[in-house]
Amino acid sequence: MYIIESEDLVKKYGRVVALDNVTLKIKRGIFGLLGPNGAGKTSFMRIIVGLSKKTSGRVEVLGMDPWKEGEKVRRKVGFMPEKPAFPPHLTGRRILELITRLRGYELSKSLELADALGLKRRIDSPIGGYSAGMRSRLAFCISLLGDPDLLVLDEPVANLDPLGRIRLLSILRERSKDGCSVVIATHSLRDVEDLLDSAAFIYRGRILDSGDIGDLMRRYMGYQPEEKVTDIERLYMGVMHEKAHDLDEI
């Protein structure tokens, strides 16, 4: 079973087309949705966790419609938004207390996660005084509560310092080994280079190509950029060079 399937998925905001007939089949493992800012990554992520309604097309997450069966989906899916927002007067501890009580999780486990993510020093401080990186750590901690079957993470490392990135990526590897699937939307290619099992490249709302990382590498690694780049950057540049040009002509 695919963890996520979409077919001819369209999302419009007025006249703006954010997703243009997106068809994807995402297998278990760690999947990356890769593309520049404004490509449609966040629109896709919000649809698959049931926070945004599609305009047309079909989408299933763990065999369920995320809009019609949103409550069931969210019991099995942990979500981290790109820009997490919390009531500024509440402390990190209070947020975790409220969420664990609401969802029936153990507070002690949530506090252990918070410690592992480097939140211990600020856990009793109002969130209004948190840096963007600290808010991201708290949001990631919340996404892990309840041991979800699937993690959906929108630009999870964007606001993190090097140590925060190392901790987050290490936890993702551990969770993946334990059977949790992960979908990451990002343009931070180097951070996920050694993490991804499969990927799709999105540009101007359209999927340029998708597949297992090994297969994609074989198709596009012949591209030779002038700049010194890593393998994942070469792959990204190769896909964009070969596939995005036609869209720019439209």
Query: What does the domain layout of the chain look like in residue ranges?
Result: 4-248
Closest CA to 41 of 133, 152, 143: 152
Report which of residues 226 and 207 the model is more confident about: 207
Rounded to an integer, what distance in angstroms lies between the CA atom of residue 229 and that of residue 217?
Answer: 14
CA dihedral 165→82→193→179, nearest 10 degrees, is: 90
Residue from 196, 198, 204 nearest 37 by CA: 204
Q: What value does the mean pLDDT take over residues 149-171?
A: 94
CA separation for the pair 109, 92 (Å, rounded): 14
Q: Is 60 exceeded by the pLDDT of residue 193?
A: yes
> Is the pLDDT score of 242 beyond 60?
yes
Q: How far apart are CA 85 and CA 207, in angstroms?
A: 29
Q: How far is CA 142 from the centre of its chain?
A: 14
What pLDDT band is residue 66 in, cutting at 50, 70 and 90? very high
Measured N-to-C along each axis, helices 213-220 and 231-239 cross at an angle, to the nearest 10 degrees, of: 70
Mean pLDDT of 15-19: 96
pLDDT-derived band at 249, boundaries 50, 70, 90: low
**Residue 247, pLDDT score:** 63
Task: For the sheet with 30-34, list strands across it.
Answer: 77-80, 150-154, 181-186, 30-34, 198-203, 206-212
Beta strand extents in 90-154 (DSSP E only): 150-154
Average pLDDT over residues 113-119: 92
Q: What's the average model confidence in pLDDT over 126-150?
A: 95
Q: CA 94, 96, 97: angle at the middle one, nearest 5?
A: 60
Looking at residue 246, its pLDDT comes to: 65
Q: Which of 96-100, 169-173, 188-192, 209-213 has the lowest mean pLDDT?
A: 188-192
4-248 in CATH: which number? Answer: 3.40.50.300
224 pLDDT higher than 80: no
Tokens linked to 250: 């439209």
Average pLDDT over residues 221-235: 81
What integer is the mean pLDDT of 123-128? 96
Mean pLDDT computed over every residue of the chain: 93
Confidence class of residue 250 from pLDDT cuts 50, 70 and 90? very low
For residues 80-95, give the mean pLDDT.
Answer: 96
Collect all residues with Cβ–Cβ distance below 8 Å to 249 and sequence separation of at least 6.
none
CB of 62 closer than 8 Å to CB of 150: yes
Q: What average pLDDT does the segment 135-163 reach?
A: 95
